[in-house]
Structure 1
Amino acid sequence: MFSKTSIAHFNQLETPFYYYDLDLLQQTVAACIAAAQPHNYHVHYALKANFNPKVLQIIQAAGMGADCVSGNEVKEAIAQGFDKNKVVFAGVGKSDREINAALDAEIFCFNVESVQELEIINELAAVKGKVARVAIRINPNVDAHTHHFITTGLEENKFGINTWQLDDVITTLKSCANLDFTGIHFHVGSQITNLDVFKNLCGRVNELSNWFEQQNMPVKVLNVGGGLGVDYYQPDNNPIGDFNSFFKIYRDHLKVKPGQEVHFELGRALVAQSASLVSRVLYVKNGQKKNFLVLDAGMTELIRPMLYQAYHHIENLTRLHGTEAATVNYDVVGPICESTDSFRTDVALPESKRGDLIAIRTAGAYGEVMASSYNLRDRVQSVYSTQTELLDVQQ
């Protein structure tokens, strides 16, 4: 991913920064669309993964929809040119202000997560003389077999409506004149690498689609969410996810009735591999039991390892194209005044020096968007590249 030319350019830049490979992003988006089109699948991009403007421009230009989880994400999606008829608004805690703004924007659909939310959207739509399209997010109680912090489809999670509440949902929908029932929505978790999870989800979607039909509530849209994982361990070997196998699971196991549409909400799988966090070694601390590389990037720039115990591949770019050097095991840590500010422990790297450039890979999803100014840190900047190796810096 890193050429000698780009590394030489990095040496002239102030660190830390996010480095975006826009060509890889375009290739990934194109691969996803190519895999989805033969099945007439509709893909919405999950803005929460990364709402960097250049990232959004590429995804919007490809014709994808937008999956939003806040009023500001809805606003940004429309500002970036996403078709309002392809914008969906999910989230367990939508405020009245956010709902009203989305009603005014005339988005495609609200993914609704409680009976009370149905009632509130109906009330707010009635005031405006509008009819809001809604899909019911159902908790299918399917185990995603991923980290418990990013599992969303179990009954113990806060998301969605449990199946034992569906009778109340039907009663409410039939009593709300300002709601248009569009479909059913699911999302069982994130960073799912066992495709059998999606096969299990298909079984539950089939059951619930039939149940709604039996209640005389035709389902127009089956929104099965996202969750496809990426390879954090070998990013260069697997830079683009296996979208063909992912969509084939649904083609083979999802029972789609005539006239029904199948929608997906993919985020990480589209953007994760397209960016790395590039940092510089401030200090090398050698001890009797531990060696530390203290970087100028920390949890304020990339919090996933501290929040989820997430793995990221780490490289010393300065030593990448040189002769082989002896390796040393380092704890790679940041400068933040927190003991948890550690990217990884016991990382085998070429012997590293003050000033070396370090890349933390697969940081395009839930990286820059979760950055903060804790410790009054400067906000991280972004650098973009294309095939021509021209790099653009955006503060």
Structure 2
Amino acid sequence: MFDPALINRFHNLETPFYFYDLHQLKTTLKACSDAAFKHHFQVHYAMKANFNPRVLDTIRDFGFGADCVSGNEVKAALEHGFKAEKIVFAGVGKSDKEINMALDRDIFCFNAESVQELQVINDLASAKNKIANIAIRINPNVDAHTHHFITTGLEENKFGINTWELGSVIQKLRECPNLLFLGIHFHVGSQINDLEVFRNLCLKVNEMQLWFQEEGFTVKILNVGGGLGVDYHQPDENNIADFADYFKVFADYLQVNKAQEVHFELGRALVAQCASLISRVLYVKNGIKKNFLILDAGMTELIRPMLYQAYHQIENLSGDQRAGSEEEFMVGQQPAADSNEPATNYDVVGPICESTDCFRTDVALPESKRGDLIAIRTAGAYGEVMASGYNLRDRVQSFYTE
């Protein structure tokens, strides 16, 4: 992914920054679009994964819809040209202000997550003399077998409406004349690599849509969420998720009639592999038990490892150059005396005044030096969007290639 010419360009840029490979993004989007089109599935991009302007514009150009979880995400989707009729608004805590804005913009659908929310949307829509399209987010109690911080489909999670509440949902829908029921919505979690989880979800969706039909409600939309995982350990070998097998599970196990639409809300699988966080080594601290690489990027730029204990591949780009041919070295760099010298284990940490500010421990890297460029891979999802200004840090910048 990082050829010598690109690394040389990196050396002229102020770090840390996010590097976006827009060619990789477009290749991924095409793979997803082609696989979904085969089954007539519709995909909404989950904007919370990454709302970098260039990323949003690229996804819009492929014709995807937008899955939003805040009023400002709805605004951003509209500002970047996503069509209102392809925008869905999810989220367990929509404010009155956000709901009113979305009603004014005539978005496609609200994914409602509680009985009380149904009443609030109805009342606000009534005040505007509007009808709000509604999908009911159901908590299917399906275990995604991922980190408990990113599991959303169990009964102990805050998301969605539990199955034992569905009787109250039906009653509320019948009482609310300004709500138009479109369908049902599910999302069981994130970074799911076991396709059996999605098969189990299909069985639950089939059960739930039959229940609504028996209650006299036409289910037009089956929104099965997203959650497809990516390969954080081998980002070059597996740089595109297996969209074909993913969508085939739903084609094989989901019961769909000709009048229904199947919608997906994919985020991570579309954008994760298109970006890396590029940083520099500030200091090397060698000790008896530990060697530390202290970077100029930290948890303020990429918090996933600290928040979720998430793994990211870490590479020393300058060390790779030193281990290559002498013609590839930059001015002022010298080749390693022995390119076959054993790697050194480092704890790769950031500059933030928190002990948790550690990307990974015991990372085997070429012998590293102050000023070396470090790449933290597969950072396109939940990377830049979760950056903060803690410690009054400068906002992380972005760099792009086509």
Q: TM class, shorter-chain normalised?
A: over 0.9
Shift of 1:38: 1.2
1:315-354 aligned at under 5 Å gives the runs: 315-323=315-323, 324=339, 325-354=341-370
Q: What is the CA–CA distance in structure 2 between the aligned matches of 1:300 and 1:321, rounded to whole Å?
A: 28
- Aligned-partner Cα distance in 2 for 1:277–1:320: 17
Mapped partners of 2:98, 2:3: distance in 1: 44
Deviation at 1:322, TM superposition (A): 3.5
Aligned to 1:287: 287
Superposition deviation, residue 319 in structure 1: 1.6
Verify: 1:20 aligned to 2:3, yes or no: no
Give the superposition deviation at 1:80: 0.2
Paired residue secondary structure (1:174):
helix
Residue 365 in structure 1 maps to residue 368 in structure 2:
no
1:134 shift after superposition: 0.3
Provide the aligned C-alpha RMSD in A: 0.5
Please report how far the alpha carbon of residue 2 of structure 1 lies from its aligned counterpart in structure 2 after TM superposition.
Answer: 0.5
**Residue 320 of structure 2 aligns to a residue in which SS?**
coil
Q: In the alignment, does 2:58 pair up with 1:49?
A: no
Q: Given the alignment of the two structures, is residue 60 of structure 1 paired with residue 60 of structure 2, yes or no?
A: yes
Q: For each residue in 1:13-43, what CA deviation from the matched residue of structure 2 results, as whole angstroms up to 9, or x when unmatched?
A: 1100000000000000010000000111000
Report how far residue 326 of structure 1 moved. Answer: 2.5
Distance 1:244 1:260 in 2: 21
d(CA) in 2 for partners of 1:317 and 1:123?
Answer: 57
Structure 2 matches for 1:135-174, cutoff 5 A?
135-174=135-174
Match of 2:202 in 1: 202
The residue that corresponds to 2:121 in the other structure is 121
- In the aligned structure 1, how far is the partner of 2:225 from the partner of 2:137? 10
Alignment of 1:76-95 (within 5 A): 76-95=76-95
The separation in 1 between residues aligned to 2:342 and 2:380, in whole angstroms, is: 30
The equivalent residue for 1:276 is: 276
Secondary structure, aligned partner of 2:13: coil
Paired position in structure 1 for 2:297: 297
- TM-score (ref. length: structure 1): 0.97
Q: Does 1:10 align with 2:26?
A: no
Deviation of the 1:321 alpha carbon: 3.4
Matches of 1:322 and 1:279 in 2, distance apart? Answer: 17
Matched, 1:240 2:240: yes
- Number of residues of Structure 1 aligned to a counterpart in Structure 2: 386
Deviation by residue 1:367-393 (Cα, 9 ceiling, x = unmatched):
00000000000000000011xxxxxxx
**SS of 2:345's equivalent?**
strand
User: What does 1:173-252 align with in structure 2 at a 5 Å threshold?
Assistant: 173-252=173-252
Cα deviations across residues 266-297 of structure 1 (Å, max 9, x unaligned)? 00000000000000000000000000000000
Q: Report what 1:33 is aligned to.
A: 33
How many Å separate the matches in 2 of 1:33 and 1:322? 40
Deviations 1:33-92 (A, max 9, x none): 000001110000000000000000000010000000000000000000001000000000
Distance 2:187 2:43 in 1: 14
Q: Does 1:312 align with 2:312?
A: yes
SS at match of 2:184: strand
Q: CA deviation at 1:320?
A: 1.8
CA distance in 2, matches of 1:75, 1:258: 33
Task: Please state whether the residue corresponding to 2:344 is helix, strand or coil.
Answer: strand
| Structure 2 residue aligned with 1:390 | none
Query: What's the CA shift for 1:101?
Result: 0.1
Q: Provide TM-score, normalisation by structure 2.
A: 0.96
* Structure 1 equivalent of residue 110 of structure 2: 110
For 2:371, give the aligned amino acid.
G
SS in 2 for 1:320: helix
Percent sequence identity over aligned pairs: 70
Shift of 1:258: 2.3
How far, CA to CA, are the matches of 2:244 and 2:76 in structure 1?
30
Query: Over residues 217-271 of structure 1, what are the superposed CA-to-partner deviations in whole Å (9 max), with x where a residue is unaligned?
Result: 0100000000000000000000111000000000000000220000000000000
C-alpha separation in 1, matches of 2:165 and 2:258? 27
In the TM superposition, what is the alpha-carbon distance from 1:180 to its structure 2 partner? 0.2
The alignment partner of 1:321 has SS state of helix
